[in-house]
Amino acid sequence: MTAQSGRPVPIVSALDTSPLPNDNFNTRSNFHERPNVVPGVNPTNSNWESGPETIGYLNGNAFTQPPDGTFGNLGRNEIYGPKFWNVDFAVTKTTKIFENLGLQFRAEFFNIFNHPNFALPNFFVLPGTTQQGLITQTPDQAQTNPGLGGGGPRVIQLGLKLLF
């Protein structure tokens, strides 16, 4: 059985309000800043659902855009993604046929309860909007390994082995 809390989500603002290049601070290209956090507002939606046209994981109303040229007050690794839990199960039966010959039957069940596990949400937030942090993949698809492993559907594998 595997159970773990979610991984940290590296949230950045989708708006690029970095200083102009002549400010000797940074340029507008590749500059993403963390947003400010609105006190008392939960940054995650408790009723989120996965899919492209559903409620996102992140609550955009919990964030505001910091003033130009400043960094937001959202700390690093303060918001975590969805939890992950998975149960694998295996049954093995070994039968002797002769003194030096045996047959082993094995049944393995990966994600036996077919529990959905989700990858991290899209971490670009547009402060003040509600549909933020959509989750459209499972961890195995996000790592280009669909089928077997973290987050995939239930998989049943049968095996027969001749032991000599």
Q: Is 150 in contact with 88 (CB distance < 8 Å)?
A: no
Backbone angles phi, psi at 56, to 5 degrees: -75, 165
Q: What is the pLDDT of residues 103-138, one digit of tens each?
A: 999 999 988 898 888 878 878 877 777 667 777 777
Host H or E run for residue 139: helix 139-142
Q: What is the pLDDT of residues 53-92, one digit of tens each?
A: 566 788 888 888 888 777 888 888 888 888 888 889 999 9
Q: What is the pLDDT of residues 17-35, one digit of tens each?
A: 555 555 444 444 455 678 8
Tokens matching residue 130: 């509600």
Q: Count CA atoms closer than 13 A to 34's CA, side-chain side.
A: 15
Report yes or no on whether pTM surpasses 0.75: no
Tokens matching residue 119: 């990858």
Q: What percent of the chain is modeled with pLDDT above 90? A: 18
